[in-house]
């Protein structure tokens, strides 16, 4: 049985990770994060993402946005699972 009815999160502060590049393809917009970005992060809590690059003007508004790190991509979705698009 635990002493506290809650979990401690972000004990060392809120990490901020910055994108390293943005790539537009015919299928999606890829926001790249540096490899090993999450290596020393705790498994709970929140983090901040700083988008250093703007999505190029003229990009189709219906393209979904995905994050890429360590040759793995993850779509950006809202709480309901609907893909977040450029629009």
Report phi then psi at 14, rounded to 5. Answer: -100, 115
How would you write the pLDDT of the chain (87 residues) with one tens digit per residue? 456 666 666 777 788 888 999 999 999 999 999 888 777 777 777 888 888 999 999 999 999 999 999 989 999 999 999 999 999
Short-list 60, 54, 49, CA closest to 21: 54
β strands within 16-57, DSSP E: 16-18, 21-24, 29-32, 48-50
| Site of tokens 């970005």 | 37
- pLDDT for position 37: 79
Query: Apex CA 50: angle with CA 59 and CA 76, to 5°?
Result: 55
> So where are the chain's domains?
1-87
- pLDDT for position 13: 78
């Amino acid at each position: 049985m635990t002493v506290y009815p809650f979990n401690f999160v972000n004990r060392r502060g809120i990490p901020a990770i910055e994108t390293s590049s943005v790539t537009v393809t015919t299928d999606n917009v890829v926001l790249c994060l540096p490899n090993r970005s999450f290596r020393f992060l705790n498994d709970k809590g929140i983090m901040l993402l700083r988008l250093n690059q703007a999505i190029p003007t003229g990009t189709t508004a219906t393209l979904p946005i995905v994050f890429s790190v360590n040759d793995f991509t993850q779509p950006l979705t809202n709480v309901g699972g609907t893909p977040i698009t450029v629009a």
